[in-house]
Amino acid sequence: MPHSSDAPSPSEDSRQATPEDSIPAGSAPDIPADAPNPADARRRDGPIRPADRLAVALEVLACSGVPTQLLIAPLLVASGLPPPAGAHTLSFVAPLLLLDTALVVAMMVFFTRVRGESLRTVWLGSRPRVREALLGVATIPVVFISVVALLNLLRLLAPGLRNVPVNPMEQMATQGLGDALLFAFVAIVGGGVREELQRAFMLHRFERYLGGPMTGAIVLSIAFGLGHLPQGYDAGVITGALGAFWAVVYLRRRSVLVPMVSHAGFNALEVLSVALLKTP
């Protein structure tokens, strides 16, 4: 008969194994980058108050670029920069868009942190960064060819949509190589980077507070197209379609890297092609 001291302790024999047993001492379990924020979970537990919806709607409006550009433009004029006289000028558009980018991104960071949300979750997700960027590069020729095809289709089926003979933004790329390179940089930063950060931020807001992600994708795509109407009705239709595409890509992948690289690359390719071909 075994000695009593050799018998296993009841507490040791009956204790259930726990997930913590497999974690080495002194280490912590890996937490995915897109793991839910506890603060967000608490917000979703109860109904969203109308005051919260209104506050979020105002955040979206503030970060849309419209009020910030209306604020920055007169400040640039007051500083001595001549305003454009009936046509867009790169000397005015470049500082306007770059300053607007800095201000809008700062506001989005502020609003996200005030609500206890993760910038990494909203903008980057948990997918491998390099793979997402390469996937964005791979979409650039597809997007470019699709836009050319859609533009020619619209001109064939609905020629009245081409109400602006010369795109005022593209015209700035035909004033020499230096201006084309500067405009390409502005299009990358103020278009590809800023607009995709905006899109992700706003889709995140729509998903949680303003009717759902698809509502956000539809509303933002329409707004994106309307914002480009000064370049022509056809440009408005095409940019609206592009906005919908990049919105869906973000919602599927939960990372801005694919749409950001795709958008920035498309903008750069469009500007440089116009500059090289010397055609609007």
- Range with lowest mean pLDDT among 41-55, 64-78, 123-137, 186-200: 41-55
Mean pLDDT of 136-141: 96
pLDDT value at residue 154: 93
Residue 100: its H or E element: helix 90-114
In angstroms, the Cα distances linking 36 to 46, 121, 125, 248 are 16, 8, 11, 21
pLDDT value at residue 86: 65
Provide the pLDDT confidence category of residue 187 given band limits of 50, 70 and 90: very high
Domain extents in the chain: 50-119+128-277
pLDDT value at residue 217: 95
Residue 6: pLDDT above 80? no
Residue 66: pLDDT above 60? yes
Mean pLDDT of 48-55: 90
pLDDT value at residue 29: 43
pLDDT value at residue 54: 94
CB atoms within 10 A of CB 72: 19
pLDDT value at residue 83: 78
More confident residue, 226 or 174: 226
Q: What is the pTM of this model?
A: 0.79
Provide the pLDDT confidence category of residue 16 given band limits of 50, 70 and 90: very low
